[in-house]
Structure 1
């Protein structure tokens, strides 16, 4: 009797499952970009490290820190426009999950700049005047817990991409 009830419960749960298309972008307007909200592993995240301060060599130093943490550092450079923030993360729809992970390295203090028209999966990490250092592994894990799961930016539809 218990087995029959358990089987019935499972069948009802599967039939009434409202999350069966979760992460698939179902019901989304065709003209909205599909935002990849997959939380990436460090080794799968591509970044450009940009120095938005007057401190010489900052992009190279932080780029090496990210390389030592298995990130794919594509470029290190200095940008002309200086910023006061801790950091600014610039990314497009393919970089939503990567930007979320990177935000944890700044303990949630990095500003997010989403560009729906950007087509690559690279995140630009712009270091600002208030930057001190990257978070430790323990701090990153705690910060990820505080930040929760990646969320698609307004005007985009979430998808989860399997590697």
Structure 2
């Protein structure tokens, strides 16, 4: 083997060792491993589940808060046809908006998805004390119809990822 070839192999080997040292130091000294996740969250604040769920995994209750009889059952059927898990239907006192979405920390991601079905015009009703992952959909006087699949996708793109509501911290992602 010629001297030039040995010298080249030594230099390449030395560069590989230096690169490996830099990688190990960067990984060991990483201070951002839990950035943005419940670190620094005030004690007692609930952890909000920001997972954007598939429709088949979202549990909802549909309530009619309008003068139109049977609206909750009609919309519940539409949600069922779109693969949502409809648990209950019923009536509520009148609401003067498109809809109200009531949810707790475990339903933040599901409520974000449902918000797209109302083109981001539903009023969020976050309750930090609620312990289930079901979202209550309360249909108001301004409700006309659910958005189409294309409109839902556009609305989700416009609204960005789910965010923790005030008074809640984002939960760590599932591993």
TM-score (norm 1): 0.88
CA contact (8 A) 1:37 1:160 kept: no
The answer for the alignment partner of 1:141 in structure 2 is 153
**What's the C-alpha RMSD, in Å, of the aligned pairs?**
2.2
* Alpha carbons of structure 1 residues 133 and 148: separation in structure 2 relative to 1, 3 Å: same
Runs of at least 5 residues in structure 1 that lack an aligned partner in the other structure: none
For residue 73 of structure 1, give the secondary structure of its aligned residue in structure 2. strand
How many angstroms does 1:22 deviate by?
4.8
1:75 to 75, 88, 94: 88
Runs of at least 5 residues in structure 2 that lack an aligned partner in the other structure: 1-11
How many angstroms does 1:20 deviate by?
2.2
For residue 108 of structure 1, give the secondary structure of its aligned residue in structure 2. coil
Larger radius of gyration: 2
2:74 to 36, 47, 61: 61
Do structure 1's residue 124 and structure 2's residue 136 form an aligned pair? yes
The answer for the alignment partner of 2:41 in structure 1 is 28
For residue 97 of structure 1, give the secondary structure of its aligned residue in structure 2. helix
How many angstroms does 1:38 deviate by?
0.8
TM-score (norm 2): 0.83
For residue 117 of structure 1, give the secondary structure of its aligned residue in structure 2. coil
How many angstroms does 1:4 deviate by?
6.8
How many angstroms does 1:98 deviate by?
0.5
> Using CA pairs below 8 Å that are at least 6 residues apart, which structure has the higher relative contact order?
1
How many angstroms does 1:24 deviate by?
4.0
The answer for the alignment partner of 2:3 in structure 1 is none
More helix by share: 2
* Alpha carbons of structure 1 residues 117 and 9: separation in structure 2 relative to 1, 3 Å: same
How many angstroms does 1:70 deviate by?
0.7
